[in-house]
Structure 1
Amino acid sequence: MDLLRYVAFTTDPAGGNPAGVVLDAGGLDESVMLATAAEVGFSETAFAVPKGPGELAVRYFSPLIEVPFCGHATIATAVAYAERYGTGPLILHTGAGEIAVTTRAGEDGTVTATLVSVAPSVEPMTDLPELLAALRWEAADLDPALPPRVAYAGARHPVIAAATRERLAALDYDFAALKALMERHGWVTVDLVWRESATVFHARNPFPTGGVVEDPATGAAAAAFGGYLRDLGLVDLPATLTVHQGHDLGRPSTLTVTVPAEPGSGIAVTGTAVPFA
């Protein structure tokens, strides 16, 4: 197995979100993939099987579970593929459906990837008091302009908006309680956000269901968040958003989210990825 290590949504190996990438996972069964992801210890490892020119079947594993879709590992996989086989369009067949990805190289050789999510959706938030208790937040900590919802763009994420940057920075949640609640609802990460301006946001994503306290950059949640903003009419369309994540962990990441005006259309998430030792 040729296991590659990349960090996504950064050009600095010390930043971003680490992902394992296996570009030819043919012959590996689920138990091997899960054991490998656990050994690597990153929030996600992507296992790709070539299906033809420009097409890959991809599965995503955290140290504890398989998830249907992972944004940062998709960006890492696309960049790793482009560096070996050339830039251009890719189709990824994932547990959430087909994900279109395009890669391009800059003048300095850095490869940027853009994924387009499956059709997003938004549903009402249930068990909000229990979720706030697990987060150790109060109702007064919430931003009333960004109401709690569960957003989907390949994976399901509760969107919880903080009223202040200080509230977002002070992350200290009940790991066991949040994990149990998320498992009950099928939530992948909790998307905690704070709005700096009309198009600039800061995010943190607890991921206890995957055995990870916090994800430094979460492309799937960023896509779901773009769909949430469009569905609730909280951003002028079309929109290009900047999401800063990982700064509180010392792994700064930048995600660019493009939200088309057309209802139901996929949300684009763009970022770079670089290998690290």
Structure 2
Amino acid sequence: MTLRTHPEILRYTAFTTDPAGGNPAGVVMDAAALDETAMLAISAEVGYSETAFVTAADNTARRFRLRYFSPLAEVAFCGHATVATAVALAERIGTGPLVFDTPVGEIALDTSADLEGPVTATLTSVPTRSRPATTAELDASLAALRWSPQDLDPALPPHVAFGGNEHLVLASATRERLAALDYDFDALAEVMHGHGWTTLQLVWRENPELFHARDPFPVGGVVEDPATGAAAAALGGYLRTLHALPPTGTFTIHQGEDLGRPSLLRVEASTTHPRVRVSGHAVAIGGASTRAGAGEA
């Protein structure tokens, strides 16, 4: 199919104030005329783990409809692209509340900024849930990761957690094990496709209020995500299920450090409410945008 329109593609990186850090996302503000094939082609052209497409907009009501695509497939929800889109909108229509209608449901957001500082966006997730991983799920995943059961933290058992997408949560016993991630890309992709998981949320708990995370994303054609907002929400729900939240309910995730793209995600979860809030900054990459090419897609 020939692309008849040439939408502007914004490039932002989320969960950082440094254009060289965080997780890059494409943002297409005017995607109403694009079909699924065109959106997938644009996402593949952009090459980031996800690109967000605004398919309907009401600036007055501050309500927008979004779809998300990796270079290989549509994704039901993407936290870092949501934060990137919210910041891009706030820079254009002003800070304040936003509502995004997504394939997983309504996502409420708050955006704010200090004087001349970067914009912060806080998303409130759909209701989270978490369940113990089965033996078969765990064994196949550990084999693809090249991990052993002894590599896991027994205080944080393996779960499949949901915060808009499903993620297998595995807690490493040591920071060194997490840093040495070297997995079988094709084998892990097959396991994840079989169970409908979007990423693996691999974490090491430094203390109750600080986690380090790595998120393999082979099903999206990407080795690893430097920051994963949906998985952060899922982790909040996981800790709530385990009664392992810190007393304040608030914790920080450091992600992307082992990739050279440091990211910072702040998570607020409640022992009584299933929705989780995830906050972070986002900044434009290079201060420029491009337009989608007119080639075959």
TM-score for both structures, normalised by structure 2: 0.91
Q: 3-state SS of the aligned residue for 1:202?
A: strand
Quick check: 1:9–1:17 contact (8 Å CA) kept in 2? yes
Equivalent pair of 2:243/2:271 in contact (CA under 8 Å): no
RMSD (Å) for aligned C-alpha atoms = 0.9
Match of 1:248 among 240, 244, 258: 258
Task: Tell me if 1:47 matches 2:53.
Answer: yes
AA of the residue aligned to 2:19:
P
Alignment of 1:98-137 (within 5 A): 98-126=106-134, 127-137=137-147
Amino acid at match of 1:216: P
Measure the CA separation in 2 of the matches of 1:156 and 1:41: 23
Which residue is 1:228 aligned to?
A: 238
1:89 paired to 2:97: yes
* Residue 70 (structure 2) aligned to one of 59, 62, 65: 62
* Partner secondary structure for residue 260 of structure 1: coil
Distance in 2 between residues matched to 1:244 and 1:229, nearest whole Å: 16
Supply the AA of the counterpart residue of 1:95.
P
Contiguous gaps of at least 5 residues in structure 1: none
AA at the equivalent of 1:198: P
Contact 2:15–2:265 (8 Å) recurs in 1: yes
- Which residue in 1 is equivalent to 2:41? 35
Q: Conserved in 2, the CA contact under 8 Å of 1:57 and 1:92?
A: yes
Aligned amino acid, residue 105 of structure 1: A
Q: Which runs of 5+ in 2 are unaligned?
A: 1-6, 287-297
Q: Which residue matches 2:16?
A: 10
Question: 1:184 & 1:237 partners in 2: Cα distance?
Answer: 37
Q: Secondary structure at the match of 2:234?
A: helix
Report SS of the residue matched to 1:56. Answer: strand
Distance across 2 between alignment mates of 1:56 and 1:49: 8
Q: How many residues are paired up?
A: 276
Q: Please say if 1:176 is aligned against 2:186.
A: yes
Identity of aligned residues (%): 62
Is the partner of 1:14 in helix, strand or coil? Answer: coil
3-state DSSP of counterpart to 2:92 = helix
Runs of 4 or more off by more than 6 Å in structure 1? none
Tell me if 1:275 matches 2:287. Answer: no
Post-superposition shift, 1:238? 4.1
Q: TM-score, normalised by structure 1?
A: 0.98
